[in-house]
């Protein structure tokens, strides 16, 4: 599994990253890649996110991910859960407010404001479909499996 890591790998490192994933998989194995994504490639991070949350992170676009994947893997499944992720961020924000109220000295007021801003900004980005949440299921090429079991 690669849970929420691809945006930290960097688009210039996608090819060696996916080569490593393939090398670590059994011939009939599956890789699940979970990442935030954007529909348009922007080779830099938001200034707020760069400074306070994820220095050096760049949210991937399919146009940068797929060239690194296409010769190594079969894309068995791809899903975008981005719109639903806005609800998750809203719940995290609500839960954080409760925590900060119950534990006022756990974090500085500055951190609490920054955290609220971060969660609400991301909620809006996902709700507006600017950010997306992707799951890729990949099997290594050449194919040694007939397919994958699916639940409907």
Task: Give me the active site residues, please.
Answer: 122
Report whether 21 contacts 2 (CB < 8 A): yes
Closest to 40 measured CA to CA, from 142, 139, 132: 132
Report whether 8 contacts 57 (CB < 8 A): yes
Closest to 50 measured CA to CA, from 61, 58, 39, 38: 58
CB atoms within 10 A of CB 63: 11
């Amino acid at each position: 599994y690669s849970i929420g890591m691809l945006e930290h790998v960097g688009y210039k490192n996608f090819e060696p990253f996916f080569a490593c994933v393939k090398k670590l998989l059994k011939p009939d194995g599956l890789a699940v890649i979970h990442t935030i994504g954007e529909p348009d490639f922007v080779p830099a991070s938001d200034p707020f996110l760069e400074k306070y949350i994820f220095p050096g992170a760049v949210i991937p676009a399919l146009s940068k991910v797929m060239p690194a994947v296409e010769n190594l893997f079969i894309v068995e499944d791809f899903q975008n859960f981005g719109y639903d992720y806005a609800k998750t961020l809203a719940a995290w924000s609500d839960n954080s407010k409760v925590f900060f109220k119950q534990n006022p000295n756990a974090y500085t007021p500055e951190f609490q404001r920054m955290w609220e801003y971060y969660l609400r900004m991301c909620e809006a980005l996902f709700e507006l479909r600017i950010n997306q949440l992707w799951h890729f299921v990949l099997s290594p090429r050449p194919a040694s499996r007939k397919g994958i079991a699916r639940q409907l």
